[in-house]
Structure 1
Amino acid sequence: MPLVPAVTELVVAQLMYLEWMNSKEPVYIYINSTGTARDDGEPVGMESEGFAIYDAMMRMKTEIHTLCIGAAAGHACLVLAAGKKGKRYMFPHAKDSIMPAMIQQPRIPSYGMMQASDVVIRAKEVVHNRNTLVRLLARHTGNPPEKIDKVMRGPFYMDSLKAKEFGVIDKILWRGQEKYMADMLSPEEWDKVAGVRRPDIM
């Protein structure tokens, strides 16, 4: 889903809960989101939604692994890039017909007729959000801010190979890398490690 308030609240709550359950075990974030906009680019959420998830990730002591399984556009691309270095992944063909990771400029929803002063305030907000997004993407991709700023002048689409080259991810989960996924604990084993008892055996 796009990053709307209901999604943000759920993701942040889950991150906090997982850290509380066991801060020594990694948290896996599976991403399939168009960010704060729909597929057609129409804004549906405020940029603060993406920043809220990012801030929650950064405050956690838990190691965070990210995996793009569909799309990662806009702020969802930031979430993907913000995973632990070396633990950021993408499926090779995450989404048919369009590139799975995309960097784009922040936008805000239309609020109809507004006073001129309100338009100026919102324009300043968009510029501030854009500059913040540039700075954070530069930090996590290793690219200079000038390069991020340049590619954000229009939608910048990346397939898995380009995303790896650009520094958004570290590895593509090709065939043969199933061993990494196989090493992950099963849901039952996770529950056992975390001390959670299933309702049917209580």
Structure 2
Amino acid sequence: MPAIMTPAGPLDLPTLLFRNRIIFIGQPIFSQVAQRAISQLVTLATVDEDADILVSLNCPDGSIYSVLAIYDCMSWIKLKVGTICLEIVASQAAVLLAGGEKGMRYAKQNARVMIHQPSTGVGV
């Protein structure tokens, strides 16, 4: 991953986003992705108890359990957490987009949000 030059020296993109209180999730949300996002949310909530957090999403799918773990953490911390869809948020990940603070949920002009009927796995 390319480094971004700053006055303090080169920074990788994930570090730069984190310093700006942006958590980027750009893959299907499963256990490891959820653990990383939750640890970032808790860390940012501890470091500065007044600044908002933005969760940037580009997630085609994932595990509902992992998504709900992130959702619960977003609800648990006292900070306002905004969400933004950059390309696609589908299936379970759409729950996370909807979990952003009221007035802080966004989808870019060409973004796609796909929500479907819940599946129980029973029957045909």
TM-score by length of 2: 0.71
Q: Shift of residue 35 of structure 1?
A: 2.4
1:103 alignment counterpart: 115
Quick one: distance in 1 between partners of 2:68 and 2:45? Answer: 19
Q: Shift of residue 5 of structure 1?
A: 1.0
Structure 1 runs not aligned, ≥5 long: 37-45, 95-99, 108-122, 128-202
Q: Is 2:60 the counterpart of 1:34?
A: yes
Change (3 A) 1:3 1:51: same
- The alignment yields a C-alpha RMSD, in angstroms, of 1.7
Q: What are the residue-to-residue correspondences of 1:1-202 with 2, within 5 Å?
A: 1-36=27-62, 46-94=63-111, 100-105=112-117
Quick one: distance in 1 between partners of 2:28 and 2:118? Answer: 14
1:89 maps to amino acid? Y
Looking at secondary structure, tell me which structure has more strand per residue: 2
Quick one: distance in 2 between partners of 1:49 and 1:106? Answer: 16
Which secondary structure state, in structure 1, belongs to the residue aligned with residue 46 of structure 2?
A: helix
Quick one: distance in 2 between partners of 1:48 and 1:104? Answer: 17
Structure 2 runs not aligned, ≥5 long: 1-26
Q: Of the two, which has the highest radius of gyration?
A: 1
TM-score by length of 1: 0.45
Which secondary structure state, in structure 2, belongs to the residue aligned with residue 23 of structure 1?
A: coil
Aligned-pair identity in percent equals 30
Quick one: distance in 2 between partners of 1:47 and 1:87? Answer: 22
Quick one: distance in 2 between partners of 1:23 and 1:106? Answer: 36
Which secondary structure state, in structure 2, belongs to the residue aligned with residue 7 of structure 1?
A: helix
2:50 maps to amino acid? K
2:114 maps to amino acid? M
2:113 maps to amino acid? A
